Structure 1
Amino acid sequence: MELPLPDLSAAPPPLVQGEPVEVSEGVYVIPDGRVPLVPNVGIVAGERAGLVIETGIGPRNGAYVLEQARRLLGDLPLYLTITHFHPEHGFGAQAFKGEASIVYNRSQREELRRKGPAYLKMFAGLGPHIAAELKDVEFVDPDLVYDGAAEIDLGGRLVELRTWGAAHTGSDQTVLVDGRVLFGGDLIETRMFPIAPYFPPYDADVDGGHWITLLDRFIELDPVVVVPGHGEIADAGLPAEIRDYLRHVRARTAELKASGASEEQAVATVDPEARSRWGTWDNPEWIGFAVRAFYADAHDQ
């Protein structure tokens, strides 16, 4: 059973727009405006350096984000990182080459090298306005690579980068600023069904069980501010909402599979249930992908 990718042909252009909004002292976000394929972009200001989190999709967005960072930070040295390798989060990195020290975890670098060209082609097929933003993409390697966790002292502001292993992707990373502000990437969304990018045989690294475990960890962190990959800024209650949804899909899918239901039957059952229970959430087309990932049970045997 192959599910179609979302039809974004009528969506607005995926442009990072607007000015940074301060969500905590020295921590700014350019909000996504709930536009498909636009991430929440972070800019963290320290006394000695600054950090940019996410680039937007393609070089034009990357250049805009760099411009906003320079407007806030002046000539301070810059770091750039991304929460994961997907095009709308990191395919504008070329704008930062020579302008910032690009920092990825080792798995991010390898996943980008391995999957980047295929994702470029796949996303370009989502609509001509998306293809236009991706037309001149050049992949760039990070300047700095870490394993496990890394700290960046920006001067009066301490940032922890941490890789968690496979969940939404095979190399998700969170960014925690001063123990208070958590950038969760697409592990966390506001009023949106989370994206389970289960595209076998091209990509089946999504690990729903570990994703749930990570959300429990984020709840324990008890951040004051949570910046999701997409959607409005929230608080520590947001990870629990995504966790509860994923738990529901996992439990119902396992129950249906045990009763002899096919993958197609499981999708047909769980999808309308979830749409009804989380009726205010956007992007319900991703429910079926989550069901398929849990049905395959690739990581939870």
Structure 2
Amino acid sequence: MSDTVPLAGRRPRTTTSHQGEDTMTPYTRGLHEIADGVWAWLQPDGGWGWSNAGLVAGRGASLVVDTLFDLALTGEMLAAMKPVTDAHPITDAVNTHGNGDHCFGNALLDAAVRIHGAPEVAERAHHESPEVISALLALDFGPLLNDYARRAFGPFAFDGVPLRTPDTPVLAATTLDVGGRQVRLLPLGPAHTAGDVAVHVPDANVLFSGDLLFVGGTPLMWTGPARSWIDACEAMIALEPEVIVPGHGPVTTVEGVREVQAYLRHVGDRAREAHAAGKTWEQAAFEMDLDRFARLPLAERVVVTTYAEYSHLDPTLPEANQLELFGLMARWEYERNG
């Protein structure tokens, strides 16, 4: 990285695969410079908990986009960033939303680091705290859910993880000065969650989407509705970013955004049709024809997305807790895949 404010256009224009993946950036674990002074930390295979993060460096200051699911993973990432952050210390961090795989590592950031995030981040992070996940993994919910939960969350260490949530709320579009470099924080929820924030680096044409994008895997809608998430995708496309770091999966382009839109339109339309036909949300999820999206990893997430869509169609729908939703995802996976 140069000692001047990084400029856009120094990285060759990306090429994309048919799934919208950026073939200029290999999908391998670790730190990848995706533009001058902008890095993505990638964690294949992008499944449960294997999230991406990022680093933006200006003159004498840096910003981290998201931390990881546990302290060991976050510590490894921060160590890999040290050649940059020793010269350009981390002054700010952003949690793109409140799922633990994007914020549980916050405790390893220096106490002086300002952490930005939507107000909903703290609520979700406390509701799904490391202690709660650790306790649930120790319980017996029967073979199907036990197996599913341990495959999803067993690789991570939740014991003794102190929860640190954002101290600087993102209430509207905000521009930060990071060492003379503009970084824009864009609230685009409710979509994946109630408080999704994208991070835009205009001078590099780079966008960090958080879990507004899952590339090469099945999107997951905890809040929705689908229409709101589709609108968030339109807002990201309108920025005309050259490079996009999704919350999970390979670095992508606007083609990756359009793939997520296509999935949301398909599932949202099928859910609304099922609701109009008088079907329960469980029937809709288990009977839905996912067409080409059935081939995506973690296709069982349609259970959660269908429930979220139904909750907007029928405000009287009883609230489903996460344990129930994970149990139904485990059953959906078993019935479809054996």
Taking CA–CA contacts closer than 8 Å with sequence separation of 6 or more, which of the two structures ends up with the larger relative contact order?
Answer: 2
Residues 155-201 of structure 1, C-alpha deviations (whole Å, 9 max, x = no match): 3431101222321111111100126111111111112110123xxxx
Distance, in Å, in 2 between the alignment partners of 1:116 and 1:44 is: 27
- Which residue identity lines up with residue 127 of structure 1 in the other structure? R
Q: CA contact under 8 A between 1:209 and 1:300: conserved in structure 2?
A: no
Paired position in structure 2 for 1:77: 89
- Alignment correspondent of 1:297: 312
TM-align CA RMSD: 2.6
Radius of gyration: which is bigger?
Answer: 2
1:24 corresponds to 2:35:
yes
- Give distance in 2, aligned partners of 1:298 and 1:117: 32
Within-5 A mapping of 1:1-301: 18-36=29-47, 37-78=49-90, 79-98=92-111, 100-113=113-126, 115-116=128-129, 120-121=133-134, 124=137, 126-127=149-150, 130=154, 133-178=157-202, 180-197=205-222, 205-270=223-288, 273-274=289-290, 276-297=291-312
2: CA distance, partners of 1:47 / 1:53: 17
**Structure 2 Cα separation of the partners of residues 96 and 210 of structure 1:** 32
Cα gap change, 1:151/1:109 in structure 2, threshold over 3 Å: closer, same or farther? farther
CA distance in 1, matches of 2:44, 2:155: 20
Q: Secondary structure at the match of 2:88?
A: coil
Displacement after TM superposition at 1:298 (Å): 5.1
After TM superposition, the score normalised by the length of structure 2 is 0.73
Cα 1:72–1:288 change in 2 (3 A) is same
Which region of structure 1 is more displaced relative to structure 2, 110-119 or 79-88?
A: 110-119
Question: Which moves more between the two structures, 104-113 or 29-38?
Answer: 104-113
Question: Residues 62 and 94 of structure 1 are in contact (CA less than 8 Å); yes or no, is this contact kept in structure 2?
Answer: no
| Alignment-derived partner of residue 9 in structure 1 | none
Q: Deviations over 1:206-258 (max 9, x none)?
A: 43221111112112222111111111101111111111111111111111221
Unaligned runs of 5+ in 1: 1-16, 198-204
- Residue 254 of structure 2 aligns to a residue in which SS? coil
Residues 215 and 235 (structure 1), Cα distance of their counterparts in 2 relative to 1, 3 Å cut:
same
In the alignment, the residues of structure 1 paired with residue 275 and residue 75 of structure 2 have an alpha-carbon distance, to the nearest angstrom, of 47
Number of residue pairs the alignment of both structures matches: 275
One-letter amino acid of the counterpart of residue 240, structure 2? D
State the distance in 2 between where 1:118 and 1:166 align. Answer: 26
Q: Please give the alpha-carbon distance, in whole angstroms, between the structure 2 residues aligned to 1:290 and 1:244.
A: 14
Identity over the aligned pairs, expressed in percent?
27
Displacement of 1:87 after TM fit? Answer: 1.0
Superposition deviation, residue 131 in structure 1: 7.3
What stretches of structure 1 move > 6 A for 4+ residues in a row? none
After superposition, what is the alpha-carbon deviation per residue over 1:34-58, rounded to whole angstroms, capped at 9, x for unaligned?
1431111101111131111121111
